[in-house]
Chains A and B, each alone.
Chain A
Amino acid sequence: MRTQYAREPFLRRIWKSKVFYLFLLPYALVFFVFTVLPVLISLWNSFTYNNLLEPARFVGFDNYVRMFTQDASFVQALKNTFVIALVTGPVGYLLSLFLAWLINEMVRPLRTLFVLVFYAPTMSSAIYSIWGILFSSDEYGYINGFLMSLNLIDEPISWLLDEKYILGVVIICVIWTSMGAGFLSFVAGLRNIDRQYYEAASVDGIRNRWQELWFITLPMMKPQLMFGAIMSITSSFSVHEVTMVLAGFPSTNNAALTVVNHLYDYGYLRFELGYASAIATVLFLMMLGANKLVNMLLRRVGR
C-alpha cells in the first residue's frame, strides 16, 4: 500500500513512518546483530591473526595464502565439499522438482501422502545417526547383512571407515534429506498453474507431458525454481553434521572432511579465529558464486 506522503521531504517521511520502524525494530535488531554484523566482523577477522588471548594483529592476505598453500587438509575439505555439493545439489534439486511434478496431478489424498513421504526425511534430519547403524561396519549392519545374505559380498564392508566408501555414504544420506523447503515450494508452484494454459497449448500443438513441462510449466514457475535453487545451494555447501556423525571427526584420512567441519575445527576447537574467518569468507564467496551461476542458468529455461 502506497503511503500518501510519498512526495514529502525525506526526513519528514522518516518521521511519519515511525510506526513502521517500530514494527521492524525487534526483527531488524536481531538480524543486524547476529547476521549482518557477523559477516562484517568475519571479513575483517579474516585479515588478522586472532587467538582470543593476544590482541588481534593485522596480517593481510596471510590466512588466505596459508589456506591454499600450507593447509593440505583445507584443500582436501574444499575438494570433498565440492564433490558433495556438485552431486547432492543438482541431484536433490532435480529429484525434488521431478517428484513434485509427478505428485502434482494425483488425487488429493495420494498427493498429501506422497508430499509427507518425501518430506518426512527432511523433518527427521536429526536421526541420520540411524544411517550409522544401517551402514555399520560389522555383519549386524543392515546393508552388510542384506548384501551378505544375497551372497554379493563375503565379509562385511567398513562403509564408514574405508575412505573409498565414506563420501558415497554421506552423499546418499544428504540426498535423502534434500527435499527441503524447495520441494514444498515446487509442489505449491505447480498447483498454482491454471489448467487453461495446458488446454490452450494443446490446441497449439503441444502433445505430451515433456513438451508441457518445458514450454509451460517450468517457465511459469521460475520464481519457485529460483527459491528452490537458493535453498539447495545453501544446504549442499554447508554439509557438516552428517559427516561428523557418520564418519567421525576426524574421519579416516579426512575422507569426509568438509569446509564447515574445518571451520568448526579452527573456530571452536583451536580458537584460531582469524583463520576460521578466512575459511568462512571463502565458503561465503563459494555460495554466492554458485547462486549467481544457477541464476544465470535458470534464465534460459523454456527458451
Chain B
Amino acid sequence: MENRKIRRAVSGTLSTVSSGVRAFRRGSAWVRHKIRSAFGIQLNRRIFGEILNVVALGLFGLVFILPIVYTICNAFKPSDELFLFPPKLFPQRPTLENFSDLSALMGESWVPFSRYVFNTILITAAGTAAHVIFASMAAYVLGKYEFPGSKAFFAMVTAALMFSPIITSVPNMLIMSGLGWMDTYWAVIIPAIGQPLGLFLMKQFMETLPDSILEAALIDGARQPRIFFKIVMPAMKPAWLTLIIFSAQNLWNTGGNIGFYIRSEELKNLPYALNSILTGGVARAGAGSAVGLLLISVPIIIFILAQSNIIDTMTTSGMKE
C-alpha cells in the first residue's frame, strides 16, 4: 500500500516535472524565437554568441573612443586636475575656464583665435559647396550619358583615387605660384573642387537613377540645366549629403594640405592652432582639449545628421574590375 502510494506520488511528481520541463522548453523556444526576431538574429547564429558579440564589440568600442572621451573630459577640467597623479579620466569639478582661457592664450600670439576659426569655416564651406555642385554636374553627364571621351575621363578619375594628393603637392606649389595663388585662400579652396573621391561616389550612385525619368523630361522639352537642378539633384540627395560629409571632413581636418601652400599665420586653420598650442606640452592640455573638442564636434554632428544617407550612397561605392 505504502509502496504504491509512494510510487504514484513519485510518478505524479515526475510527470508534473516533465510536463513543466516541456512547457518550459516550449516557453523558452517561444522566448528564443521572440529574442531572435526582436534583435534580427539570423539563421546559423546562437543567441549567446550574439550577446557575446555585442559585449565584446562594446568593450572594444570603448577603447576606440577613449582618446575622444579623454579630450572631452579634459576640456572641462580645471588646471589643477590636469596635473593629478595618478591622472583621473573624469573631471571632479567641471569648469569652462579652458574655453575662456583660449582667447587669452591666443591673445599672446598676434593672430586672434577667432581668425583660425573663421579660416577653417571659410575653407570648409566654400570648398565643400563648390566641390558638391561641380562634381555632381560632372557625375550626372558621366553617369547617365555616353559621349566621346566620357569613359576615358572617368577612368582617369578612378586612377587618381589610387594615389594621394600629397604626390602632386610639389608641382602644385609651382602651379599656384604661377597663378599667383600662393598664400591665398584660392590655393586650398579651388583644388577641393577636383577631388576624385566625390566624383567617383556620385557617378556610381547616379547610375541607379532610372533613365525613364530623364527621357520623360526630355520629351516634355526640358533643357539639361533644368533637368539637373529640378530632377536629378533632388533624387541624388543621399549622394550629395555623403559628398558634403567627405569633403567637409577632409577640409575641416587638413585644410586641403594647407601646410604646403600657406605661409602666413593669419591664413592658417584650427588644426594648426591646436598643434601650436599643444607644443606647450601638458601645461596646455586644457586649452588644447578645448580646441580639440571644437574641432571634432563639427564633423561628428554633420555625420550624425546625415548618417543613413551615407550608408545608402556607399552601397554603390564598389569598384568594378
Contacts and interface: CB of A to CB of B under 8 A. Distances in A.
Interface of A: 1-3, 6, 10, 13-14, 17, 19-21, 23-24, 26-28, 30-31, 33-39, 41-42, 45, 99, 102-103, 105-107, 110, 112, 114-127, 129-134, 136, 138-142, 145-146, 148-149, 176, 181, 184-185, 187-189, 191-192, 195, 198-199, 202, 206-209, 212, 221-224, 226-227, 230-231, 233-235, 237-238, 240-241, 245, 260, 263-264, 267-268, 273, 276-277, 280, 283-284, 287-288, 291, 295, 299
B92 interface: no
Contacts of B308: 112
A20 B115 CA distance: 41
Contacts of B174: 41, 273
A21 B147 CA distance: 9
Contact of B145 (A3, A31, A34, A148): A3
B270 interface: yes
A126 B253 CA distance: 5
A238 B275 contact: no
Contacts of A2: 146
16 contacts: A35-B165, A106-B54, A117-B61, A121-B64, A123-B303, A124-B292, A124-B300, A127-B67, A176-B67, A189-B317, A209-B45, A227-B319, A280-B166, A280-B169, A288-B162, A291-B162
A133 B274 CA distance: 13
Contacts of B87: 140, 142, 145-146
Contacts of A241: 254
B194 interface: yes
A207 to B, nearest CB: 7
Given A27-B138, A129-B274, A222 B282 contact: no
B86 A230 contact: no
Contacts of A121: 64-65, 67-68
B164 A237 contact: yes
Interface string B54-89: 100100010011011011000000000011011100
B320 A31 contact: no
A135 to B, nearest CB: 11
Nearest to B318: A223
A275 B71 CA distance: 40
Contacts of B54: 106, 110
Nearest to A238: B164
Which of A45, A149, A184, A207 has the most chain B CB within a 10 Å cutoff?
Answer: A184
Contacts of B65: 117, 120-121
Nearest to A127: B292
Contacts of B109: none
A10 B259 CA distance: 45
A119 to B, nearest CB: 7
Contacts, number: 325
Query: Which 5 A-B pairs give the minimum distances between C-beta atoms?
Result: A223-B318, A38-B168, A30-B194, A188-B314, A17-B147
Given A123-B299, A130-B288, A223-B318, A188 B312 contact: yes
Nearest to A26: B134
Interface stretch (B3-11, B34-42, B97-105): B34-42
A110 to B, nearest CB: 7
B95 to A, nearest CB: 19
Interface string B185-198: 00000110110110
A284 B190 CA distance: 23
B2 interface: no
Nearest to A277: B170
Contact of B42 (A105, A129, A132, A134): A105
Interface in B118-153: 134-135, 137-138, 140-142, 144-148, 150, 153
Given A38-B168, A287-B163, A1 B211 contact: yes
A148 B85 CA distance: 10
Given A129-B275, A198-B43, A280-B167, A23 B317 contact: no
A206 B318 contact: no
Given A6-B146, A13-B148, A141-B282, A42 B168 contact: yes
Contact of B282 (A112, A138, A224, A287): A138
Contact of A185 (B146, B169, B318): B318
B248 to A, nearest CB: 10
A124 B260 CA distance: 21
B300 A20 contact: no
B310 interface: yes
Contacts of B193: 26-27, 30
A273 B274 contact: no
B134 A30 contact: yes
B315 A191 contact: yes
B133 to A, nearest CB: 8
A234 B162 contact: yes
